[in-house]
Amino acid sequence: MIELAAELFLLKACPKARLLSRTVAVVSGTMLLAQLAMAESSYTVIAVSNGGTIQGVVKLAGAAPTIAPIVVTKNQDYCGESITNPVYVVGKDGGLQNVEVYLKDITKGKALPTDPTTISLVNTHCMFSPRVQASTVGQQITISSEDPVLHNTHPQNSETNATIYNIALPYKGFSVTKPLPANPGLIKVKCDAHEWMHAWIWEFDHPYFATTGEDGKFTIKDVPPGTYTLVAWQEAAGEKSMPVTVTSGKTVTADFQLTPK
Q: Given the rule CB under 5 A, which residues bind Cu ion?
A: 151, 191, 193-194, 197
Report the sign of the C-alpha dihedral through residues 1, 109, 95, 90, in that order: negative
Which of residues 98 and 123 has its CB atom nearest to Cu ion in the complex?
123
Q: CB-hemisphere CA count at 13 Å for 142?
A: 11
155-to-40, 75, 148 alpha-carbon distances in Å: 21, 22, 21
The set of residues, in sequence order, having a beta carbon less than 8 Å from that of 104 and lying 6+ positions away, is 228, 229, 230, 231, 241
In the complex, the smallest distance separating the C-beta of residue 100 from Cu ion, rounded to whole angstroms, is 23
Helix axis angle for 29-38 and 2-13, nearest 10°, is 20
Query: What order do you get walking across the sheet with 209-211 strand by strand?
Result: 209-211, 100-104, 226-234, 238-246
Which of residues 60 and 149 has its CB atom nearest to Cu ion in the complex?
149
The whole-angstrom separation of Cα 163 and Cα 106 is 28
In the complex, the smallest distance separating the C-beta of residue 58 from Cu ion, rounded to whole angstroms, is 28
H helical segments located in the chain? 2-13, 22-25, 29-38, 76-79
Which of residues 81 and 239 has its CB atom nearest to Cu ion in the complex?
81
In the complex, the smallest distance separating the C-beta of residue 123 from Cu ion, rounded to whole angstroms, is 6
The set of residues, in sequence order, having a beta carbon less than 8 Å from that of 91 and lying 6+ positions away, is 97, 214, 215, 216
In the complex, the smallest distance separating the C-beta of residue 71 from Cu ion, rounded to whole angstroms, is 15
Which of residues 110 and 194 has its CB atom nearest to Cu ion in the complex?
194
The whole-angstrom separation of Cα 110 and Cα 209 is 12
CA 200-102-84 angle, 5° bins: 35
In the complex, the smallest distance separating the C-beta of residue 185 from Cu ion, rounded to whole angstroms, is 23
In the complex, the smallest distance separating the C-beta of residue 124 from Cu ion, rounded to whole angstroms, is 10
Which of residues 87 and 189 has its CB atom nearest to Cu ion in the complex?
189
